[in-house]
């Protein structure tokens, strides 16, 4: 690209982002209304369909697709929310334990192992519990999606200086050096099959930065190591 074209290209891109910012809340509202009808209808139909029938399998497919869309919309909504509300002091260790229990209940990938470990410190931080839980789930979901049969995902909570750190480690194929920052952009994905919305890591980083922290990809000999870093409460 010629140097004289850069300002014009940047202006065009900025204009697009402004337009997206205006349109996104209305789009999310309309999508959520439609999803409410879709999922409600699917659940109602499932109550009258016999287990094991082809009709039930098809309706379950419709319902599951609706849930995936709903989750993607929820992730996108992260970028249109107002600044933090409902902040309070909370234990990142306790939050991590709760998320780990949820991951085990959901069994995000049955063929992928899951381990978790915690330091003795409670790792108190000031923040919005719901948003931090969402960030951890985004990172863990990404790790499971990037892993294959026989791989393991690990959640490790530790203290590093004045920061509480949640490490999410997977033993998958890892991320190429030239994509280390690109994967945090909207609609990028670490999945080799390119499935998924590519919103999770971008949303998680946005949440981390709203809390004065950061989400980063750390060097690893194999697999990937994502670090959610948050300042410890005074």
154-173: pLDDT as tens digits: 999 999 999 999 999 998 77
Q: Under DSSP, is residue 225 helix (H, G, I), strand (E, B) or coil? A: strand
Dump strand ranges (E) for the chain: 88-91, 113-118, 124-127, 152-160, 163-170, 214-218, 224-231
pLDDT of residue 8: 55
Contact 142, 198 (CB under 8 A): no
Averaged pLDDT score across all residues of the chain = 80
Question: How much is the pLDDT for 204?
Answer: 87
- Identify the pLDDT of residue 138: 86
First vs last C-alpha separation in the chain: 48
Q: What is the pLDDT of residue 221?
A: 80
pLDDT digits (tens, 9 = 90+) for 69-80: 887 777 566 545
Helices (H), 47-106: 54-77, 92-106
pLDDT of residue 146: 83
- Which neighbouring-strand residues pair with 89? 126
Buried b / exposed e along 98-131 (16+ C-beta atoms within 10 A): ebbeebeeeebbeebebebebeeebbebbbbbeb
Tell me how many helices (H) and strands (E) the chain has: 5, 7
Give pTM, 2 decimals. Answer: 0.61
Element (H or E) spanning 204, and its range?
A: helix 200-210
């Amino acid at each position: 690209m010629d140097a004289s074209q850069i300002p014009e290209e940047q202006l065009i891109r900025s204009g697009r982002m402004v337009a997206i910012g205006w349109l996104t809340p209305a789009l999310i509202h309309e999508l959520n209304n439609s999803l409410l009808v879709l999922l409600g209808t699917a659940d109602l139909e499932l109550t009258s369909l016999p287990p094991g029938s082809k009709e039930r399998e098809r309706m379950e497919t419709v319902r599951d697709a609706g849930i995936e869309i709903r989750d993607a919309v929820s992730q996108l909504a992260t970028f249109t929310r107002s600044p933090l509300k409902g902040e309070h002091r909370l234990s990142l260790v306790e939050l991590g334990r709760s998320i780990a229990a949820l991951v085990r209940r959901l069994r995000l990938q049955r063929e992928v192992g899951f381990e978790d470990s915690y330091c003795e410190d409670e790792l108190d931080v000031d923040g919005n519990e719901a948003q931090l839980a969402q960030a951890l789930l985004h990172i863990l979901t990404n790790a499971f999606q990037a892993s294959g049969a026989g791989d393991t995902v690990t959640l490790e909570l530790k203290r590093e200086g004045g920061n509480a750190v949640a490490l999410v480690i997977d033993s998958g194929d890892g991320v190429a050096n030239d994509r280390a920052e690109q994967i945090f952009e909207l609609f990028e994905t670490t999945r080799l099959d390119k499935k998924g919305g590519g919103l999770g890591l971008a949303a998680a980083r946005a949440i981390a930065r709203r809390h004065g922290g950061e989400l980063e990809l750390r060097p690893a000999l194999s697999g990937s190591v994502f670090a959610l870093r948050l300042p410890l409460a005074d």
